[in-house]
Protein backbone atom coordinates (compact mmCIF):
# COMPACT_ATOMS: atom_id res chain seq x y z
CA UNK A 1 0.00 0.00 0.00
CA UNK A 2 1.49 3.31 -1.09
CA UNK A 3 1.14 6.48 0.94
CA UNK A 4 1.48 9.90 -0.53
CA UNK A 5 3.84 11.65 1.85
CA UNK A 6 7.52 10.89 2.20
CA UNK A 7 10.21 12.05 4.56
CA UNK A 8 13.04 14.30 3.45
CA UNK A 9 16.62 14.43 4.68
CA UNK A 10 17.15 17.72 6.53
CA UNK A 11 20.29 17.37 8.65
CA UNK A 12 19.41 19.88 11.39
CA UNK A 13 15.84 18.65 11.72
CA UNK A 14 17.15 15.09 11.71
CA UNK A 15 19.49 15.81 14.63
CA UNK A 16 16.61 17.36 16.59
CA UNK A 17 14.34 14.42 15.78
CA UNK A 18 17.07 12.04 16.96
CA UNK A 19 17.21 13.60 20.43
CA UNK A 20 19.32 16.70 19.88
CA UNK A 21 23.05 17.40 19.40
CA UNK A 22 24.15 16.22 22.83
CA UNK A 23 22.28 12.96 22.47
CA UNK A 24 23.79 12.40 19.01
CA UNK A 25 27.27 12.87 20.50
CA UNK A 26 26.35 10.42 23.28
CA UNK A 27 25.36 7.81 20.66
CA UNK A 28 28.60 8.32 18.75
CA UNK A 29 30.78 8.04 21.87
CA UNK A 30 28.89 4.97 23.10
CA UNK A 31 29.22 3.24 19.71
CA UNK A 32 32.92 4.09 19.48
CA UNK A 33 33.53 2.59 22.91
CA UNK A 34 31.52 -0.51 22.06
CA UNK A 35 33.51 -0.99 18.87
CA UNK A 36 36.75 -0.85 20.84
CA UNK A 37 35.90 -3.83 23.03
CA UNK A 38 32.92 -5.93 21.92
CA UNK A 39 34.56 -7.58 18.88
CA UNK A 40 37.56 -8.53 21.04
CA UNK A 41 35.86 -9.59 24.27
CA UNK A 42 36.50 -13.26 23.49
CA UNK A 43 40.14 -12.44 22.82
CA UNK A 44 40.31 -10.56 26.14
CA UNK A 45 39.07 -13.61 28.04
CA UNK A 46 41.49 -15.96 26.29
CA UNK A 47 44.67 -13.85 26.24
CA UNK A 48 44.39 -11.49 29.22
CA UNK A 49 42.48 -13.71 31.67
CA UNK A 50 43.94 -16.98 30.30
CA UNK A 51 40.56 -18.69 30.15
CA UNK A 52 39.88 -21.47 27.66
CA UNK A 53 38.00 -20.54 24.51
CA UNK A 54 34.97 -22.75 25.34
CA UNK A 55 34.67 -21.30 28.86
CA UNK A 56 34.98 -17.75 27.52
CA UNK A 57 32.39 -18.40 24.82
CA UNK A 58 29.90 -19.95 27.24
CA UNK A 59 30.32 -17.03 29.66
CA UNK A 60 29.68 -14.49 26.89
CA UNK A 61 26.65 -16.38 25.59
CA UNK A 62 25.23 -16.71 29.09
CA UNK A 63 25.70 -12.97 29.60
CA UNK A 64 23.69 -12.19 26.47
CA UNK A 65 20.90 -14.67 27.25
CA UNK A 66 20.54 -13.74 30.92
CA UNK A 67 20.67 -10.08 29.91
CA UNK A 68 17.40 -10.64 28.06
CA UNK A 69 15.68 -11.24 31.41
CA UNK A 70 15.97 -7.53 32.21
CA UNK A 71 13.83 -6.48 29.25
CA UNK A 72 10.37 -6.67 30.94
CA UNK A 73 11.64 -4.39 33.72
CA UNK A 74 13.08 -1.99 31.13
CA UNK A 75 9.71 -1.92 29.36
CA UNK A 76 7.83 -1.10 32.56
CA UNK A 77 10.34 1.64 33.40
CA UNK A 78 9.85 3.21 29.98
CA UNK A 79 6.06 3.02 30.36
CA UNK A 80 6.35 5.11 33.52
CA UNK A 81 7.69 7.92 31.34
CA UNK A 82 11.46 7.53 31.67
CA UNK A 83 13.43 8.11 28.49
CA UNK A 84 16.96 9.57 28.67
CA UNK A 85 17.40 8.10 32.15
CA UNK A 86 16.92 4.57 30.81
CA UNK A 87 19.36 5.22 27.96
CA UNK A 88 21.92 6.53 30.45
CA UNK A 89 21.34 3.54 32.74
CA UNK A 90 21.97 1.11 29.86
CA UNK A 91 25.33 2.80 29.37
CA UNK A 92 26.19 2.98 33.08
CA UNK A 93 25.59 -0.71 33.65
CA UNK A 94 28.19 -1.37 30.97
CA UNK A 95 30.63 0.85 32.88
CA UNK A 96 30.16 -1.53 35.78
CA UNK A 97 30.77 -4.48 33.46
CA UNK A 98 34.02 -2.98 32.16
CA UNK A 99 35.20 -2.16 35.71
CA UNK A 100 34.53 -5.74 36.78
CA UNK A 101 36.31 -6.99 33.67
CA UNK A 102 39.42 -4.98 34.52
CA UNK A 103 39.31 -6.24 38.13
CA UNK A 104 38.98 -9.92 37.19
CA UNK A 105 42.08 -11.92 38.14
CA UNK A 106 43.60 -14.22 35.55
CA UNK A 107 42.09 -17.69 35.53
CA UNK A 108 38.80 -16.71 37.23
CA UNK A 109 35.77 -17.44 35.05
CA UNK A 110 32.93 -16.30 37.31
CA UNK A 111 33.95 -12.61 37.56
CA UNK A 112 34.37 -12.60 33.77
CA UNK A 113 30.92 -14.14 33.38
CA UNK A 114 29.46 -11.48 35.67
CA UNK A 115 31.17 -8.74 33.67
CA UNK A 116 29.74 -10.25 30.47
CA UNK A 117 26.32 -10.25 32.14
CA UNK A 118 26.43 -6.52 32.90
CA UNK A 119 27.68 -5.80 29.39
CA UNK A 120 24.86 -7.98 28.04
CA UNK A 121 22.22 -6.16 30.09
CA UNK A 122 23.37 -2.81 28.75
CA UNK A 123 23.54 -4.04 25.17
CA UNK A 124 20.04 -5.55 25.38
CA UNK A 125 18.41 -2.57 27.12
CA UNK A 126 19.86 0.16 24.93
CA UNK A 127 17.92 -0.45 21.65
CA UNK A 128 14.48 -0.32 23.32
CA UNK A 129 15.40 2.73 25.39
CA UNK A 130 16.80 4.54 22.35
CA UNK A 131 13.75 3.72 20.21
CA UNK A 132 11.40 4.95 22.95
CA UNK A 133 13.33 8.21 23.25
CA UNK A 134 13.22 8.84 19.50
CA UNK A 135 9.52 7.88 19.38
CA UNK A 136 8.84 10.53 22.03
CA UNK A 137 10.69 13.30 20.20
CA UNK A 138 9.80 12.54 16.57
CA UNK A 139 6.59 11.56 14.79
CA UNK A 140 5.42 10.18 11.47
CA UNK A 141 8.03 9.41 8.86
CA UNK A 142 10.46 11.78 10.56
CA UNK A 143 10.64 9.18 13.34
CA UNK A 144 11.56 6.45 10.86
CA UNK A 145 14.34 8.60 9.44
CA UNK A 146 15.63 9.46 12.91
CA UNK A 147 15.75 5.79 13.88
CA UNK A 148 17.61 5.03 10.64
CA UNK A 149 20.06 7.85 11.29
CA UNK A 150 20.74 6.49 14.76
CA UNK A 151 21.54 3.07 13.30
CA UNK A 152 23.84 4.56 10.67
CA UNK A 153 25.66 6.62 13.31
CA UNK A 154 26.01 3.59 15.57
CA UNK A 155 27.43 1.44 12.79
CA UNK A 156 29.91 4.17 11.92
CA UNK A 157 31.04 4.35 15.55
CA UNK A 158 31.26 0.57 15.88
CA UNK A 159 33.30 0.30 12.70
CA UNK A 160 35.66 3.11 13.68
CA UNK A 161 36.16 1.65 17.14
CA UNK A 162 36.87 -1.79 15.72
CA UNK A 163 39.45 -0.36 13.29
CA UNK A 164 41.20 1.51 16.11
CA UNK A 165 41.19 -1.60 18.29
CA UNK A 166 42.55 -3.74 15.45
CA UNK A 167 45.44 -1.33 14.98
CA UNK A 168 46.20 -1.49 18.72
CA UNK A 169 46.17 -5.29 19.02
CA UNK A 170 49.88 -5.47 18.29
CA UNK A 171 50.40 -4.24 21.85
CA UNK A 172 49.22 -7.59 23.24
CA UNK A 173 47.48 -7.97 26.59
CA UNK A 174 48.43 -4.47 27.74
CA UNK A 175 46.71 -3.01 24.69
CA UNK A 176 43.56 -5.04 25.34
CA UNK A 177 43.42 -3.84 28.94
CA UNK A 178 43.91 -0.27 27.77
CA UNK A 179 41.11 -0.66 25.22
CA UNK A 180 38.80 -1.96 27.94
CA UNK A 181 39.65 1.03 30.14
CA UNK A 182 38.99 3.48 27.32
CA UNK A 183 35.70 1.70 26.63
CA UNK A 184 34.63 2.23 30.24
CA UNK A 185 35.48 5.92 30.05
CA UNK A 186 33.54 6.21 26.76
CA UNK A 187 30.48 4.56 28.31
CA UNK A 188 30.65 6.90 31.30
CA UNK A 189 30.94 9.98 29.08
CA UNK A 190 28.08 8.79 26.87
CA UNK A 191 25.87 8.11 29.90
CA UNK A 192 26.53 11.59 31.26
CA UNK A 193 25.64 13.20 27.93
CA UNK A 194 22.50 11.10 27.50
CA UNK A 195 21.30 11.83 31.04
CA UNK A 196 21.87 15.57 30.54
CA UNK A 197 19.18 15.62 27.85
CA UNK A 198 16.56 15.22 30.66
CA UNK A 199 13.84 13.84 28.40
CA UNK A 200 10.79 12.02 29.70
CA UNK A 201 7.22 11.48 28.56
CA UNK A 202 3.94 11.85 30.41
CA UNK A 203 2.73 8.27 31.01
CA UNK A 204 -0.87 9.54 30.89
CA UNK A 205 -0.37 10.89 27.36
CA UNK A 206 -2.25 9.87 24.26
CA UNK A 207 -1.23 7.45 21.53
CA UNK A 208 2.37 6.96 20.49
CA UNK A 209 1.51 8.09 16.98
CA UNK A 210 -1.91 9.39 16.18
CA UNK A 211 -3.57 8.22 13.00
CA UNK A 212 -0.82 5.79 12.10
CA UNK A 213 -1.14 4.46 8.58
CA UNK A 214 -0.05 0.97 9.59
CA UNK A 215 -2.72 0.21 12.21
CA UNK A 216 -6.39 -0.74 11.94
CA UNK A 217 -9.34 1.18 13.52
CA UNK A 218 -10.35 0.76 17.18
CA UNK A 219 -13.62 2.15 18.59
CA UNK A 220 -12.45 3.00 22.10
CA UNK A 221 -10.17 5.99 22.71
CA UNK A 222 -8.73 4.43 25.87
CA UNK A 223 -5.21 3.03 25.46
CA UNK A 224 -5.18 -0.66 24.63
CA UNK A 225 -2.91 -3.30 26.14
CA UNK A 226 0.39 -3.97 24.42
CA UNK A 227 -0.37 -5.48 21.00
CA UNK A 228 0.39 -9.18 20.69
CA UNK A 229 2.17 -8.97 17.32
CA UNK A 230 2.73 -12.73 17.44
CA UNK A 231 3.52 -13.15 13.76
CA UNK A 232 5.72 -10.05 13.73
CA UNK A 233 7.72 -11.16 16.78
CA UNK A 234 8.15 -14.70 15.47
CA UNK A 235 9.18 -13.39 12.05
CA UNK A 236 11.65 -11.00 13.65
CA UNK A 237 13.52 -13.93 15.22
CA UNK A 238 14.17 -15.21 11.70
CA UNK A 239 14.80 -11.81 10.14
CA UNK A 240 17.63 -10.96 12.55
CA UNK A 241 19.64 -13.91 11.26
CA UNK A 242 20.66 -11.55 8.45
CA UNK A 243 22.68 -9.50 10.97
CA UNK A 244 24.95 -12.49 11.65
CA UNK A 245 25.34 -13.54 8.02
CA UNK A 246 28.36 -11.23 7.31
CA UNK A 247 30.00 -12.04 10.66
CA UNK A 248 29.38 -15.79 10.99
CA UNK A 249 27.78 -17.50 7.99
CA UNK A 250 29.88 -16.02 5.19
CA UNK A 251 33.29 -16.39 6.88
CA UNK A 252 32.37 -19.98 7.73
CA UNK A 253 31.34 -20.78 4.16
CA UNK A 254 34.20 -18.92 2.50
CA UNK A 255 36.95 -20.45 4.62
CA UNK A 256 35.71 -23.99 5.26
CA UNK A 257 33.72 -24.75 2.09
CA UNK A 258 35.19 -22.55 -0.63
CA UNK A 259 38.72 -22.48 0.86
CA UNK A 260 38.97 -18.79 0.05
CA UNK A 261 41.32 -16.29 1.64
CA UNK A 262 40.08 -14.65 4.88
CA UNK A 263 40.53 -11.36 3.05
CA UNK A 264 37.18 -11.99 1.33
CA UNK A 265 35.41 -12.21 4.70
CA UNK A 266 37.04 -9.00 5.90
CA UNK A 267 36.15 -7.19 2.66
CA UNK A 268 32.50 -8.29 2.90
CA UNK A 269 32.29 -7.13 6.53
CA UNK A 270 33.78 -3.71 5.68
CA UNK A 271 31.46 -3.35 2.67
CA UNK A 272 28.46 -4.22 4.85
CA UNK A 273 29.40 -1.54 7.37
CA UNK A 274 30.00 1.10 4.71
CA UNK A 275 26.72 0.34 2.93
CA UNK A 276 24.72 0.52 6.18
CA UNK A 277 26.33 3.82 7.16
CA UNK A 278 25.81 5.45 3.76
CA UNK A 279 22.48 3.97 2.65
CA UNK A 280 20.43 3.40 5.82
CA UNK A 281 18.89 6.89 5.86
CA UNK A 282 18.39 7.33 2.07
CA UNK A 283 16.82 3.88 1.67
CA UNK A 284 14.51 4.47 4.65
CA UNK A 285 13.42 7.79 3.15
CA UNK A 286 12.88 6.16 -0.25
CA UNK A 287 10.71 3.43 1.29
CA UNK A 288 8.62 5.94 3.26
CA UNK A 289 6.14 6.14 0.38
CA UNK A 290 4.94 2.64 1.27
CA UNK A 291 3.41 1.27 4.46
CA UNK A 292 5.93 0.01 6.99
CA UNK A 293 4.41 -3.47 7.07
CA UNK A 294 4.67 -3.78 3.28
CA UNK A 295 8.28 -2.62 3.41
CA UNK A 296 9.11 -5.14 6.15
CA UNK A 297 7.57 -7.95 4.08
CA UNK A 298 9.57 -6.74 1.07
CA UNK A 299 12.75 -6.88 3.18
CA UNK A 300 12.04 -10.56 3.82
CA UNK A 301 11.68 -11.15 0.09
CA UNK A 302 15.02 -9.43 -0.61
CA UNK A 303 16.74 -11.49 2.09
CA UNK A 304 15.22 -14.67 0.66
CA UNK A 305 16.58 -13.83 -2.80
CA UNK A 306 20.01 -13.18 -1.29
CA UNK A 307 20.05 -16.52 0.52
CA UNK A 308 19.15 -18.30 -2.73
CA UNK A 309 21.91 -16.26 -4.37
CA UNK A 310 24.40 -17.54 -1.78
CA UNK A 311 23.24 -21.08 -2.55
CA UNK A 312 23.92 -20.54 -6.25
CA UNK A 313 27.25 -18.78 -5.58
CA UNK A 314 28.62 -21.57 -3.39
CA UNK A 315 27.87 -24.09 -6.13
CA UNK A 316 30.50 -22.38 -8.29
CA UNK A 317 33.23 -23.79 -6.08
CA UNK A 318 36.75 -22.49 -5.61
CA UNK A 319 37.66 -19.67 -7.96
CA UNK A 320 34.43 -17.91 -8.89
CA UNK A 321 32.64 -18.83 -5.67
CA UNK A 322 34.19 -16.18 -3.42
CA UNK A 323 33.61 -13.22 -5.80
CA UNK A 324 30.03 -14.40 -6.36
CA UNK A 325 29.40 -14.61 -2.62
CA UNK A 326 30.79 -11.09 -2.21
CA UNK A 327 28.46 -9.79 -4.93
CA UNK A 328 25.41 -11.45 -3.41
CA UNK A 329 26.34 -10.06 0.01
CA UNK A 330 25.45 -6.60 -1.32
CA UNK A 331 21.88 -7.80 -1.93
CA UNK A 332 21.79 -9.28 1.57
CA UNK A 333 22.97 -5.98 3.05
CA UNK A 334 20.25 -4.10 1.16
CA UNK A 335 17.69 -6.48 2.66
CA UNK A 336 19.18 -5.84 6.10
CA UNK A 337 18.94 -2.08 5.55
CA UNK A 338 15.28 -2.26 4.49
CA UNK A 339 14.50 -4.55 7.45
CA UNK A 340 16.23 -2.31 9.98
CA UNK A 341 14.55 0.80 8.61
CA UNK A 342 11.04 -0.58 8.91
CA UNK A 343 10.85 -3.10 11.78
CA UNK A 344 11.35 -0.88 14.84
CA UNK A 345 9.43 1.95 13.19
CA UNK A 346 6.45 -0.37 12.65
CA UNK A 347 6.54 -1.47 16.29
CA UNK A 348 6.52 2.14 17.55
CA UNK A 349 3.47 2.81 15.40
CA UNK A 350 1.53 -0.25 16.54
CA UNK A 351 2.19 0.39 20.24
CA UNK A 352 -0.22 2.48 22.33
CA UNK A 353 1.66 5.26 24.16
CA UNK A 354 1.16 3.73 27.60
CA UNK A 355 2.47 0.38 26.35
CA UNK A 356 5.30 1.70 24.17
CA UNK A 357 8.02 0.51 26.53
CA UNK A 358 6.59 -2.96 27.02
CA UNK A 359 6.00 -3.37 23.29
CA UNK A 360 9.54 -2.32 22.40
CA UNK A 361 10.89 -4.60 25.13
CA UNK A 362 9.03 -7.58 23.67
CA UNK A 363 10.36 -6.74 20.22
CA UNK A 364 13.93 -6.48 21.52
CA UNK A 365 13.46 -9.81 23.30
CA UNK A 366 12.70 -11.41 19.95
CA UNK A 367 15.70 -9.64 18.42
CA UNK A 368 18.01 -10.72 21.22
CA UNK A 369 16.75 -14.29 21.08
CA UNK A 370 17.32 -14.44 17.32
CA UNK A 371 20.83 -13.06 17.68
CA UNK A 372 21.58 -15.51 20.49
CA UNK A 373 20.44 -18.65 18.65
CA UNK A 374 21.53 -17.75 15.12
CA UNK A 375 25.24 -18.64 15.58
CA UNK A 376 24.30 -22.12 16.82
CA UNK A 377 21.75 -22.60 14.02
CA UNK A 378 24.13 -21.37 11.31
CA UNK A 379 27.07 -23.45 12.51
CA UNK A 380 24.75 -26.44 12.96
CA UNK A 381 23.35 -26.27 9.43
CA UNK A 382 26.59 -25.46 7.60
CA UNK A 383 28.17 -28.96 7.89
CA UNK A 384 25.10 -30.43 6.17
CA UNK A 385 25.86 -28.51 3.00
CA UNK A 386 24.84 -25.25 1.28
CA UNK A 387 21.31 -26.48 0.58
CA UNK A 388 20.64 -27.04 4.27
CA UNK A 389 22.07 -23.67 5.31
CA UNK A 390 20.90 -21.31 2.59
CA UNK A 391 17.80 -23.27 1.60
CA UNK A 392 16.73 -23.44 5.24
CA UNK A 393 17.28 -19.72 5.77
CA UNK A 394 15.50 -18.86 2.53
CA UNK A 395 12.45 -20.97 3.37
CA UNK A 396 12.16 -19.68 6.93
CA UNK A 397 12.59 -16.06 5.84
CA UNK A 398 10.03 -16.35 3.05
CA UNK A 399 7.49 -17.81 5.50
CA UNK A 400 8.28 -14.98 7.93
CA UNK A 401 7.74 -12.35 5.24
CA UNK A 402 4.37 -13.91 4.38
CA UNK A 403 3.39 -13.90 8.07
CA UNK A 404 4.30 -10.22 8.39
CA UNK A 405 2.34 -9.31 5.28
CA UNK A 406 -0.82 -11.16 6.34
CA UNK A 407 -0.93 -10.34 10.06
CA UNK A 408 -3.79 -8.04 11.00
CA UNK A 409 -3.08 -5.06 13.23
CA UNK A 410 -5.07 -5.06 16.43
CA UNK A 411 -6.23 -1.50 16.68
CA UNK A 412 -5.87 1.96 15.35
CA UNK A 413 -4.93 4.87 17.54
CA UNK A 414 -7.52 7.67 17.52
CA UNK A 415 -6.44 10.40 15.16
CA UNK A 416 -5.15 13.49 16.93
CA UNK A 417 -5.84 16.99 15.78
CA UNK A 418 -3.06 18.25 13.62
CA UNK A 419 -2.16 14.85 12.25
CA UNK A 420 -0.85 15.10 8.77
CA UNK A 421 -1.71 12.92 5.80
CA UNK A 422 1.07 10.50 6.60
CA UNK A 423 -0.23 9.90 10.08
CA UNK A 424 2.18 12.13 11.98
CA UNK A 425 0.84 14.35 14.72
CA UNK A 426 1.75 18.02 14.78
CA UNK A 427 2.49 17.99 18.50
CA UNK A 428 4.40 15.50 20.64
CA UNK A 429 2.46 12.61 22.10
CA UNK A 430 2.87 13.38 25.76
CA UNK A 431 4.08 16.16 27.98
CA UNK A 432 7.80 16.52 27.55
CA UNK A 433 10.41 18.16 29.68
CA UNK A 434 13.51 18.35 27.52
CA UNK A 435 16.60 20.47 27.48
CA UNK A 436 19.01 19.81 24.64
Of 87-101, 257-271, 281-295, minimum mean pLDDT range: 257-271
Cα–Cα dist 261/248, whole Å: 15
Provide the terminal-to-terminal Cα distance of the chain, rounded to the nearest Å: 37
% of the chain surpassing 90 pLDDT: 60
Q: How many helices (H) and strands (E) does the chain have?
A: 18, 0
% of the chain surpassing 70 pLDDT: 85
Cα–Cα dist 342/141, whole Å: 10
Residue among 34, 224, 140 nearest 422 (CA): 140
Coil/strand/helix, residue 21:
helix
- pTM, 2 dp: 0.85
**Taking the CB of residue 66, how many other CB atoms lie within 10 A of it?**
15
**H helix intervals, 38-83:** 41-43, 53-67, 71-79
Burial label for 312, CB within 10 Å (0-12, 13-18, 19+), is middle
Which of the four pLDDT bands, split at 50, 70 and 90, describes residue 65? Answer: confident
For residues 335 and 272, the answer to whether their CB atoms sit within 8 Å is no
Q: What is the pLDDT of residues 371-413, one digit of tens each?
A: 989 998 998 999 999 999 999 999 999 999 999 999 987 644 4
Distances (CA, A) of 222 to 204, 218, 226, 362, 413: 11, 10, 12, 22, 9
Rg of the chain (C-alpha set): 21
Which of the four pLDDT bands, split at 50, 70 and 90, describes residue 138? Answer: confident
Q: What is the pLDDT of residues 164-206, one digit of tens each?
A: 988 888 788 888 899 999 999 999 999 999 999 888 887 665 4
Distances (CA, A) of 428 to 18, 200, 299, 322, 374: 14, 12, 30, 50, 38
Amino acid sequence: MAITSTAKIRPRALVRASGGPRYAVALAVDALGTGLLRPFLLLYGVTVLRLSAPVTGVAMTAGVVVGLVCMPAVGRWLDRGARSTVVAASMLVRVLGVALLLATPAGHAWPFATAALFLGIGNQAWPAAHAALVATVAHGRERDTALAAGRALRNAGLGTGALIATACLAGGTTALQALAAVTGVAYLAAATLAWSVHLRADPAAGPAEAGAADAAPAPAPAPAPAPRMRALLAANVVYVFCLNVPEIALPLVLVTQLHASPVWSAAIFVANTVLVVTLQVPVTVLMSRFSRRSVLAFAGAVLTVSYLGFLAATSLGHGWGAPAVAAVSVVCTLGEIVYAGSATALVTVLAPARALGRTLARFELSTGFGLAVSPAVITGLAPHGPAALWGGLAGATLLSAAAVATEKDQGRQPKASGAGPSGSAASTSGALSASS
